[in-house]
Amino acid sequence: MVNGEPAGAECTRASLLGRYEIGRTLGEGNFGKVKYARHIGTGGHFAIKILDRSKILSLRIDDQIRREIGTLKLLKHPNVVRLHEVAASKTKIYMVLEFVNGGELFDRIAIKGKLSEHEGRRLFQQLIDGVSYCHDKGVYHRDLKPENVLVDRKGNIKISDFGLSALPQHLGNDGLLHTTCGSPNYIAPEVLQNRGYDGSLSDIWSCGVILYVMLVGYLPSMTGILLFFIRRLIFKGDCQIPKWLSPAAQDLLKRILEPNPMKRINITGIREHEWFKKDYVPAVPYDDDEDVLPGSVLSIKEQIDEPAQEKCTHINAFQLIGMASSLDLSGLFEEEVFELGPSLYVVELRKSHGDSTLYRQLCERLTDELGACKTEQIMRTESLSDDLLSLDGEAFPLSGF
């Protein structure tokens, strides 16, 4: 063990980013990787998201990156992943983030099948604290799901992945949000109606689905694999809440998973609910000038270890956000900035890691349900969606993942 990390997490001095030693890969996506890193001066642990600018432009997700950086700059809360620093080179963008070493909430539920009400309550309290703080800062996440909630080794949650978040400048003239986005299993019904929606209430719906999954172990039966089924079932609001949950837990779930946003319980109501209040200790946001990890907000001034022909430009997070008004980070991109259309999205969701045995079980389950694919064909795919829905509205238990 080295500073609480396994020996495999040690970094070699041959791979440096300023004063950070870069180590193993923590995760990998379509447009970059997340690497473990250790600050040479303080020994602090970090996660560095390394984004490929050419892929960002080709996938037209520059707006998503701008939002994530701009949003994380605003947020300093124990239950939200922190952005400490940003650097850029000709080909890469580097985001130095808080290192959360316990994995995704999704994996925690998948391993246990479901959580006890005691554990689920504690995590839900932290989730609501983090989401409430974001809303107070004018930030609406819009893609809350167990895969975007990390858990550290102490069992505390950290909300992450703010690429689809909305800020006050994204509100329409009616004071509502209008972009349809999110993950099908967790999206609020009003978001699908294309009439505008309250970002706070839509986030609350997603939190309710997360609570359901934590306590029950699988997704509510109100969603389906096609948009047609999603619309038909989600608006019915016929979520079947198991009777074996405590009456207070059942009541809270019913009040959160209310299809009519005007009747849905708000965060104040959640905090006043008897089930939520039990053993509740509110989280305290960090002071604006407080640096949680010693030496964490340090400018990357040393040469980034890249090919010699590339000239690197080094900027910290505050300089990056201040490059232009309205969080415009177009200076990082040497091509035209593309605007995402306010329409329905077709999203490919990928599972980047997990137990291979559970993965095979999932493939077999999909084969049985869909009846049109062979297991061998599914197994050859690079990855599968981790937001899966059934054709008939019946949920897949997460314990089978």
In this predicted structure, which of 177-181, 210-214, 227-231, 353-357 has the lowest mean pLDDT? 227-231
**Active-site residue set:** 143
Average pLDDT over every residue of 96-125? 93
**For residue 74, pLDDT beyond 80:** yes
pLDDT band at 221; cut points 50, 70, 90: low
Which structural domains are found in the chain, ordered by start?
7-99+299-332 (3.30.200.20), 105-277 (1.10.510.10), 356-400 (no CATH)
Per-residue pLDDT reduced to its tens digit, 189-219 = 899 888 899 999 999 999 999 999 999 988 7
Q: Rounded CA gap, 276 and 121, in Å?
A: 7
Q: Rounded CA gap, 61 and 263, in Å?
A: 35
**In the prediction, which pLDDT does 342 show?**
43
**For residue 355, pLDDT beyond 50:** yes
For residue 337, which of 49, 7, 57, 143 has the smallest C-alpha distance?
57
Q: Annotated binding site, which residues?
A: 49
Coil, strand or helix at 93: strand
Q: Rounded CA gap, 300 and 306, in Å?
A: 14
Q: Which amino acid is at 383?
A: S
User: Distances in Å between the alpha carbon of 3 and those of 297, 319, 356, 358?
Assistant: 20, 31, 30, 32
**Residues with Cβ < 8 Å from 76, sequence gap 6 or more?**
82, 285, 286, 287, 288, 290, 292
**In the prediction, which pLDDT does 353 show?**
57
**In the prediction, which pLDDT does 354 show?**
59
**For residue 233, pLDDT beyond 50:** no
**For residue 371, pLDDT beyond 70:** no
**In the prediction, which pLDDT does 322 show?**
40
pLDDT band at 15; cut points 50, 70, 90: confident
Question: What is the model's pTM?
Answer: 0.69
Contact assessment for residue 38 and residue 115, using Cβ atoms and an 8 Å cutoff: no
C-beta neighbour count of 259 within 10 angstroms: 17
Q: Rounded CA gap, 317 and 321, in Å?
A: 6
Q: Annotated binding site for ATP, which residues?
A: 49
Average pLDDT over every residue of 50-77? 87
DSSP string, 151-196: E-TTS-EEE---TT-B-GGG--TTS-B----S-TTT--GGGGGTS-
